[in-house]
Each structure stands twice: as C-alpha cells, then as structure tokens.
C-alpha cells in the first residue's frame, strides 16, 4: 500500500506545485475518459467503422472535457472562454494528429489491438501537452509596468 501521510496538505502547496499536481490529476482523468470512451465506441461500432474514424468524435469529446477541467481546476483563468478553447484546440490539434498517426502506426503497422494502441498513443501525447497549455492555451498575459507599480 502507498503511504501518503508524508505528503504536505494541499493548502501548503505552492501555486506551482498545486498546478502541476492538478494538471497530473486532470490529465489522468482525461486520459481515462478518452481511453474509456474510445473503448466503448470501438466495441459498439468497431466492426462497422474504421478505428481511425471512430477516434474523431472521441477526440472532440476528450479535448472539450480537458479544456473545461484545465480552465476550471488547473490554470483557473478568467479569460475569454472561446479564445482559450480555440487555443486549446491548437495545442490539442497537433496532439490529435500525432495521436492518430501513432494509433495508425501501432494498430496498423505493428498490428496491436486498436484499444491498446490508443492507450499507448494517448500516453505519448498527454506527456507533451502540459507546456503547450501552460504557455499558450492558458497563458496569463504579462502585467503592464504601470499595473505592477500601482500595487
């Protein structure tokens, strides 16, 4: 059993520690969400539609879920919802294309089961997305010098 008693209480975490921990938790949730949804969709329609085609609606749902969780629980920005959603899609768009290419490679070229191939592809994409979201999707604008001096 894992002993969590030595971890600091959440209220003692620095903002950076909270953000990373929350990002990992949300990333874990979103990974499970995307993998579970893909598995469900594949099991229902896998023999009727190509496995890559099935990944499209699943990715739309997973990116929307991730956006909401990152905005509300991780980066906690107050910015424009639509602008941040579009920026989030820019980060995830590259990740989605990479994920689909990896899914094709693992399932098509290496003949892995598509569900397991999707798990592996998702792990690669999730690991790289933190910086894109932190520094682009949910980047906080730098304060103007007069705003800093007026405090």
Residue 26 near residue 73, CB atoms below 8 Å:
yes
Torsion of CA 135, 68, 65, 111, to 10 degrees: 10
* pLDDT-based confidence at residue 129 (cuts at 50, 70, 90): confident
Token output for 4: 């969590």
User: What local confidence, expressed as pLDDT, does residue 109 receive?
Assistant: 96
71-108: pLDDT as tens digits: 999 999 987 899 999 999 998 888 888 899 999 999 99
12-21: pLDDT as tens digits: 788 888 888 9
% of the chain exceeding 70 in pLDDT:
85
User: What local confidence, expressed as pLDDT, does residue 95 receive?
Assistant: 84
Nearest to 73 by CA among 28, 26, 133, 30: 26
Rounded-to-integer distance, Cα 107 and Cα 109, Å = 6
Nearest to 121 by CA among 110, 134, 135: 110
Residue 66 near residue 92, CB atoms below 8 Å:
yes
What pTM value is reported for the model?
0.66
Mean pLDDT of the chain: 86
Rounded-to-integer distance, Cα 133 and Cα 113, Å = 30
């Amino acid at each position: 059993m894992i002993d969590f008693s030595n971890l600091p209480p959440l209220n003692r975490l620095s903002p950076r520690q909270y953000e990373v921990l929350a990002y990992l938790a949300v990333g874990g949730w979103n990974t499970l969400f995307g993998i579970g949804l893909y598995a469900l969709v594949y099991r229902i329609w896998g023999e009727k539609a190509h496995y890559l085609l099935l990944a499209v609606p699943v990715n739309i749902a997973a990116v929307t879920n991730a956006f909401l969780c990152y905005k509300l629980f991780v980066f906690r920005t107050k910015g424009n919802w639509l602008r941040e959603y579009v920026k989030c899609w820019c980060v995830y768009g590259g990740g989605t294309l990479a994920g689909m290419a990896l899914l094709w490679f693992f399932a098509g070229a290496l003949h892995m089961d598509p569900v397991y191939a999707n798990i592996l592809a998702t792990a690669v994409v999730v690991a790289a997305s933190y910086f894109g979201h932190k520094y682009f999707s949910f980047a906080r604008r730098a304060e103007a010098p007069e705003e800093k001096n007026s405090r």
